[in-house]
Structure 1
Amino acid sequence: MWQPDGWDVRVRLGVLTPHADVGPESELRAMAPADVGLHAARVPFAAMGPGGQMGLTVPLAPVRAFAEPPHVDDAAELLAAAPVAAIAYAFTSSAYVIGARGEAYMLERLTERAGGLPVVATCAAAVGALRALGVERLALVDPPWFDATLSDLGRGYYEEAGFEVPYAAPCGLPSGQALIRPEALYGWVLEQVPDAAQAVVVGGNGFRAAGVIEALEAELERPVLTANQVLLWAALRAAGEPVDGVRGYGRLFSAP
């Protein structure tokens, strides 16, 4: 008699996302089971204009500023007032710029502002996922709007975490979130990823990539991790929820 109205969920997760970005919410909602609620707070990101428009490459200054007080801290505090069990920081590139130590400090700061609610971040989640899968060597594929400098910082982030990175580069597709198509990303990754890599990591929460995970894993016969995929995995774990209910989005969700 009654239609589903979104109220009957087993857990609610909060998401901190750039103010004009619809990518994280779109992919997280697609991957999450129906009984997982998702609730986003917008954080100002100076590199994004109306309609989510950005330049061909993203400057480092606004990327760094996104992770700094006061805006993201205020958003975390407000989001924590909702009945959410964990908060997911849906932004990749700031970790590249501030490094793993800076990211860890940011998470401590946000957790405190969120009243002790667990806060997880994309790159730290990727590191945890790689370790859970037993990966030592990875290929890093970044969005086309990450320039070579930013991508090199990403390589440094994972090398500092103890991984070998035989390949790291921005994806050679058109620079624009709305221009990315799954079939094009699939073909590009297959052509570029070296055999030396035990896994593929696709950076960028605004990079349309979740839909190709399973197809790439089947062809490459190795794990494929994307920004919003690892973020969902980490957020569910932080909330004390099982992850094996996520189907069709990679072997990560069935990893021990």
Structure 2
Amino acid sequence: MWQPDGWDARLRLGVLTPHADVGPESELQAMAPEGIRIHAARVPFGGMAARGAMDPTIPLAPVHAFVEPPHIDEAVALLAAAPVGAIGVGFTSSSYVTRVDGERELVDRLQQRTSGIPVVATCAAAVAGFRALGAGRVALFDPPWFNAELNRLGAQYFGSQQLDVVFHAPCGLPSNQRSINPPEVYDWVLLHTPDEAEAVFIGGNGFRTVGVIAALEEDLGRPVLTANQALLWGMLRAAKSQTRPDGYGALFGV
């Protein structure tokens, strides 16, 4: 008699996302198991304009600014007022530029505003995922709007976590979020993943990638992690939820 109204959620998860980016919440909700709802809080990001417009490559200064007080601190406090079980930072590049220590400092600072709700950073979740999978040699692929320097910082980030980055590059695709085509992502990653890589990480929470995880894993024969997939995995663990998505990669089996 009554139609579903979204109120009967088993678990609600929050995500902090750049103000004009709909990618993180879209992919997270697409992957979320039945009964799990995703709720976003928007944080100003100087690298994006109205309707999600960006320059061909994002400058590093707005990436730094995204995780500095007060905006992200205020956003997490507001999101933590809702009944969410964990909050994710949906912004890969901030971890790249602030490095591991800066990422940890950010998580610690934000958790002071959440009344005990755990905060999960995307790249830290990916590192934990690689360790859970037993993968030590990884290939790193980033969005086309990450320039060579930002991609290099990403390789340094993972390298500092005792991972051997055997390949790293921005994907050679159109540098426009709306122009990203999953088959082209699949083809580019498949072509450029070296044999010695034990796993793949595709960075960028605003990069349309989760739809190709299963196909890449089947054809590459190794685990594929993406920013939003790793973030969801980390948030489910932080919220002590045993439920997992159907599909979307080997990561959800560990």
Question: What's the TM-score bracket when you normalise by the shorter of the two chains?
Answer: over 0.9
CA distance in 2, matches of 1:56, 1:34: 37
* CA deviation after TM superposition for structure 1 residue 44, in Å: 0.3
CA distance in 1, matches of 2:4, 2:71: 34
CA distance in 1, matches of 2:169, 2:52: 23
CA distance in 2, matches of 1:103, 1:172: 28
Task: Give per-residue Cα distances to partners, 1:124-179, cap 9 Å, x unaligned.
Answer: 00000000000100000000000000000000000000000010110000001111
Q: Tell me the residue number matched to 2:185.
A: 185
- Are 1:247 and 2:207 matched, yes or no? no
CA distance in 2, matches of 1:14, 1:26: 12
- Any gaps of 5 or more consecutive residues in structure 1? none
CA distance in 1, matches of 2:11, 2:96: 30
Q: Tell me the residue number matched to 2:78.
A: 78
Aligned positions of 1:1-256 closer than 5 A: 1-243=1-243, 245-255=244-254
Ranges of 4+ aligned residues in structure 1 off by more than 6 Å? none
CA distance in 2, matches of 1:253, 1:228: 12
CA distance in 1, matches of 2:25, 2:43: 13
CA distance in 1, matches of 2:242, 2:65: 34
2:168 partner amino acid:
A
CA distance in 2, matches of 1:145, 1:211: 20
Task: Give per-residue Cα distances to partners, 1:16-75, cap 9 Å, x unaligned.
Answer: 000000000110010001200111100000010000000000000000110111100000
1:250 partner amino acid:
G
Task: Give per-residue Cα distances to partners, 1:63-100, cap 9 Å, x unaligned.
Answer: 01101111000000000000111101100001000000
2:95 partner amino acid:
A
1:86 partner amino acid:
A
The alignment of Structure 1 onto Structure 2 pairs a total of residues equal to 254
Task: Give per-residue Cα distances to partners, 1:108-129, cap 9 Å, x unaligned.
Answer: 0000111221000100000000
Q: Please give the secondary structure, in 2, of the residue aligned with 1:17.
A: strand
- TM, length-normalised to structure 2: 0.99
* CA deviation after TM superposition for structure 1 residue 242, in Å: 1.2
Cα RMSD, aligned residues only: 0.6
